[in-house]
Amino acid sequence: MNPIDIITEYYQPGSTLFDIQVTHGQKVAEKALDAAQKVPHLSPDLDLIREAAMLHDIAIFQTRARSIGCHGSHPYVVHGYLGRLILEQKGLPRHALVCERHVGVGLSADDIKKDQLPLPVRDMVPVTIEEKAVCFADKFFSKKPGALEKEKSREEIVSRLARYGRGKAETFQAWLALFKEG
């Protein structure tokens, strides 16, 4: 399966949003594969990681995120859930779960209820090593034009995640240890 073929179904090649989608996906894939290779004892599926990393933001075009050129009708926080729907329709259930579970360090049913997010009330947190690797790697890269190639520092990520509650930053710090990044 070639993720670019799926991306081109939703994004016009050569457009700014296509370039953001592909560049961000490639950076996340590189970082996620590097992380996964540090945990061979967990038998990560490297093909799934590469493909899912490229597709994890497939639904951003359906959201309102003007800073990156998205003019859809949904709040940005639902892009993972919407991506799951797209990828399930394509017969990619494992990729779909990576998509749904990558937002933040995952959203619990309690998070969704407490913050009244426009999502189904269920746990959307990374479970498998593949889901964790993609979610982890995604935190290092922005989709903002001009910053696609720049890797964020661990400290910057922890500080940002701490705004959403102590447990979020702690989850990321546990992943830093798991993937031997600190």
What's the pLDDT score for residue 166? 75
pTM for this entry? 0.95
Q: Give the whole-angstrom CA distance, residue 158 versus residue 37.
A: 23
- Residue-wise pLDDT tens digits, 48-96: 999 999 999 999 999 999 888 899 999 999 999 999 999 999 999 999 9
Q: What is the average pLDDT across 9-34?
A: 96
Q: Average pLDDT, stretch 141-164?
A: 92
| Domains defined along the chain, listed by start | 3-178 (1.10.3210)
Buried b (16+ CB within 10 A) or exposed e, 52-85: bbbbbbbbbbbbebeebbbebebebbbbbbbbbe
Please name which of 62, 66, 93, 91 lies closest in space to residue 78, comparing C-alpha atoms.
62
Among 12-16, 82-86, 123-127, which is the least confidently predicted range? Answer: 12-16
pLDDT of residue 121: 97
According to the model, what pLDDT value does residue 182 have?
61
- Which residues have C-beta within 8 Å of that of residue 133, sequence separation ≥ 6? 32, 33, 35, 36, 44, 49, 179
Please give the average per-residue pLDDT across 148-175, as a whole number.
93
